[in-house]
Amino acid sequence: MKRLFTILAILALLPAALPAQESSAPAPAKKKVVVIPIRDQIAPPELYILRRGLKTAIEQGADTVILDMETPGGRLDVTFDMLKAIEKYPGKVVTYINTEAISAGALISAGTSEIWFAPTAIIGAAAPVSGGGQDIDETMKLKIVSYLKARVRAMSGDQENRAKAISAMIDANYELKFGDEILKPKNELLTLTAKEAMKEYGDPPKPLLAAGIEPSLESLMDTLL
C-alpha cells in the first residue's frame, strides 16, 4: 500500500510540472516592419519623410524598411540625399513599386536591397534632366550619366543584371543585350513592367531587376515576415 501511495504521488506531480516546462520556452520574437511612403515628386518634403521614417525604424528596432514607391521622379540633388540616408541606415531597406518608379524613383529603388513590384507597376526612364524638366547641356549630361552609372554599379554589388538594367534606364546610348537578345537598343531609355523585370538572364540565370511580384503591400509584408 505504501508503494502504491508513492507512485500515485509522483503521477500527481507530473501534470503540474509539464506546463511549467512548456511555458519556460521563450516565444519567437516578432519581426518589425516600417513602411515609408514615397508618393510625390522627389523634393525636400519627400527627403524629410524618408529621414523621419528611417529614424522611427531605428527607434523601434525594425528588421526591415519598405519604401512604398509611387513617384514620377524629381530633383537629382534630393535623390542623392535620399540615397545617402538609405546607405547610412543599419538595417534592410526594400522598395515596393506600387505603381511607378520613374526617373529619380528608379535611382532611389536601385539604392535598396530588393525591388518588389505590384503586378502592374513600371520602372525606368531615369535619364537626368534639369530641375524644370529641360535637357541638360550635353557635356554636363555626359558627366552626370557617367557618375550615375558608377553609383549604380557600386550600389548593386554582385547584382550585375540590376546594374545593367538601371544603366539602360539612365543612358540612352547604352545597349542592353544578353546573348543575341537586345532588350534595349541605343537611342532609347529602358522602362520595364513587373513581368519584364522578373525575366531571367545570364549564366546562371537571374532575374533582371525584380525580387518578386506581390499583389499588395500587405502581401509583401507577409512574405518578408
pLDDT tens-digit profile of 158-208?
A: 899 999 999 999 999 999 999 999 999 999 999 999 999 999 999 899 999
2-to-5, 7, 9, 12 alpha-carbon distances in Å: 5, 9, 11, 15
Say yes or no to pLDDT of 111 above 50: yes
Q: Measuring CA to CA, which residue among 145, 156, 162, 150 is closest to residue 200?
A: 162
What are residue 62's phi and psi, to 5 degrees? Answer: -70, 145
Average confidence (pLDDT) over 207-224: 95
pLDDT tens-digit map of 16-38: 444 444 445 555 556 799 999 99
Detail the DSSP E strand segments found in the chain.
33-38, 64-71, 92-102, 114-117, 122-124, 176-178, 181-184, 191-193, 200-201, 206-207, 212-213
User: What's the pLDDT score for residue 207?
Assistant: 96
User: What's the pLDDT score for residue 206?
Assistant: 94
SS3 201: strand
Detail the DSSP E strand segments found in 17-56.
33-38
Compare 221 and 135 and report the one with higher pLDDT: 221
Q: What's the number of CA atoms in the CB half-sphere (13 Å) around residue 70?
A: 9
pLDDT tens-digit map of 196-215: 999 999 989 999 999 999 99
110: amino acid identity, one letter? A
**203 touches 216 (CB < 8 A):** no
Say yes or no to pLDDT of 2 above 90: no
Average confidence (pLDDT) over 74-82: 93
The reply to whether the predicted model has a pTM over 0.85 is no
| pLDDT interval class at 127 (50, 70, 90) | confident
| pLDDT interval class at 129 (50, 70, 90) | confident
How are the residues of the chain apportioned to helix, strand and coil, as percentages rounded to the nearest 5?
45, 20, 30
Rounded-to-integer distance, Cα 170 and Cα 124, Å: 8
pLDDT tens-digit map of 90-104: 999 999 999 999 999
User: What's the pLDDT score for residue 137?
Assistant: 74
